[in-house]
Amino acid sequence: MRAMTLRLTFAALVFAGAGACATNPVTGQRELALMSEEQEIQLGREADAEIRQSMGVYNDPELQRYVQEVGLGLARASERPHLPWSFAVVDSPAINAFALPGGFIYLTRGILPYLGSEAEMAGVLGHEIGHVTARHSVSQYSRQAAAGLGLGVLGIFVPEVQQAAPLAEVGLGALFLKYGRDDEREADRLGARYTAMSGWDPAGVAGMLNTLARLDEASGSRRGVPNWLSTHPAPADRVQEVQTFIADARAAHPGATTTNKPAYLAQIDGIVFGDSPEKGIVRGSTFEHRDLRFALRFPEGWEISNSDEQVAAKRPDADHFVVLELVAAQGALDQIAQQQMTKAGFRRVEGSRTRINGLDAVVGTYAGNMEGLGQVGVRAAHILHGGRVYLIAGIAPANQFSSATGAFNATIESFRPLTEAQAAAIRPNRVALYTVRAGDTWASIASGAGQGHLSASTLAIMNDYAPATPPRTGDRLKIVVTGS
């Protein structure tokens, strides 16, 4: 949870010369392009700087070097080797990969535990490189500009509460536009081609898609559906089709058999899994922040989303929300509360100063209107802790507000400071390696060595198994443990 947002304007993409055409480097065909390659690179550089600032680069220089080296090997085999290619792992738990125009490619640390080998990672990187080499984003921008349309990113829960949606949660590939099926098909084909040309087994492309398809099936509509699916058509629909691309790539490059699984596993051994202490960690229904030294308990069973800008929870069966944010304001606490809520369009019904677990607070009830919800009630607390003001806002439709206030009040009253020792004891989950023993099952590994952090089915999928297939004795698996 940080006070950072990423702002990219569509206006920056509308250049002089609208209606101009350019030759696509991959297809050789002429197509509408409202920006030159130089402008494409400039846009990518500017966006790259903002992404690195807002998302953060994962702090593992050796892993960053490894990803950069694999990525550059693929990029050299592409139709645009001269671009200023850059590859980075961003510090996000989302399962995602995305590309910016001009050759700026990102993997989230969240996707890496779900890849089984260097060849699969190369398949993901090659796919994203394909989007850049074929100028898919440029083409989409140009079509949007020609139609006179603007771009926007919707918030996860309530857009009015969070004006700039946290990109780590909505899927970073949606930074600009969702790719269409034809673009995805072409990126799959190019990814298989680039990996084979560079010596990696092109079957890694299918391996990645298989894993994501299993995750999609296991998750259903629940929280945990891979963010990659927000911006890419469902992989199950593409697994069969990509086999043709893999066969073609193997025919052209029969020596492309490298997988490098042991080297890959060594690189991700110890990587943070899920939330990081610097951004706060969700443990069940509790959110704990090590650096800001506080904890908050959300209602049991609610879906919790932790981003750089806010922590939000939603009741699964109703439009009831709780949002936690830092407030950028100074002055008396009651004045801050009144000014902020009035500015947001809410009328105060009642409220007063109070103390919450030893902290000064202003708690009140407010009424207003929110797009998509209509008339709503808000139970809001502004709490002073460590020189910062925190807002906890419970939101529900007006006709359901009275029934929701008990859950809202319980969450507000659970906000508590942490001692130095309590904060220091907060540890992230990390990936570890485990060798399967005779008699092991997914359930026994998940509850034993895996400390219960993952379900048996998720553990199987993370290791490229169908959940119904038992683990093989002697196989080297990825598990998740509480680390340092």
pLDDT in tens, 441-455: 999 999 999 999 999
Q: How many residues does the chain have?
A: 484
- Residue of higher predicted confidence among 233 and 132: 132
Please report how the helices 181-197 and 239-252 are oriented relative to each other, as an axis angle in degrees rounded to 10: 30
How confident is the prediction for the chain on average, in pLDDT?
84
What does the pLDDT average to over 133-141?
A: 74
Let me know: does 136 contact 183? Beta carbons within 8 Å. Answer: yes
Lowest mean pLDDT, pick from 73-82, 121-130, 238-247, 356-365: 238-247
User: pLDDT band at residue 259, thresholds of 50, 70 and 90?
Assistant: very high
What does the pLDDT average to over 127-135?
A: 92
Q: How far is the C-alpha of 171 from the C-alpha of 198, rounded, in Å? A: 28
What does the pLDDT average to over 171-179?
A: 45
At 40 the pLDDT is: 86
- CATH architecture type of domain 429-482: Roll (3.10)
What count of other Cβ atoms lies within 10 Å of the Cβ of residue 224?
A: 13
User: pLDDT band at residue 38, thresholds of 50, 70 and 90?
Assistant: confident
Say what percent of the chain tops pLDDT 70.
80
Summarised one tens digit per residue, pLDDT across range 416-427 is 999 999 999 999
Q: How far is the C-alpha of 84 from the C-alpha of 468, rounded, in Å? A: 44
CATH, domain 277-424, list 3.90.226.10, 3.40.50.620, 3.40.1000.10, 3.20.20.70: 3.40.1000.10
At 184 the pLDDT is: 86
Lowest mean pLDDT, pick from 88-92, 242-246, 327-331, 436-440: 327-331
User: pLDDT band at residue 18, thresholds of 50, 70 and 90?
Assistant: very low
- pTM, two decimals, is 0.78
User: pLDDT band at residue 156, thresholds of 50, 70 and 90?
Assistant: very low
> Which amino acid, residue 280?
G
Lowest mean pLDDT, pick from 31-45, 412-426, 445-459: 31-45
The residues spanned by each domain of the chain are 10-271, 277-424, 429-482
Reported as type and span, the H/E element at residue 455 is: none
Q: How far is the C-alpha of 40 from the C-alpha of 38, rounded, in Å? A: 5
| Whether the predicted pLDDT of 148 surpasses 60 | no
Let me know: does 145 contact 18? Beta carbons within 8 Å. Answer: yes
Does 277-424 match 429-482 in CATH topology?
no
Q: Which two tokens stand for residue 153?
A: 């990113």
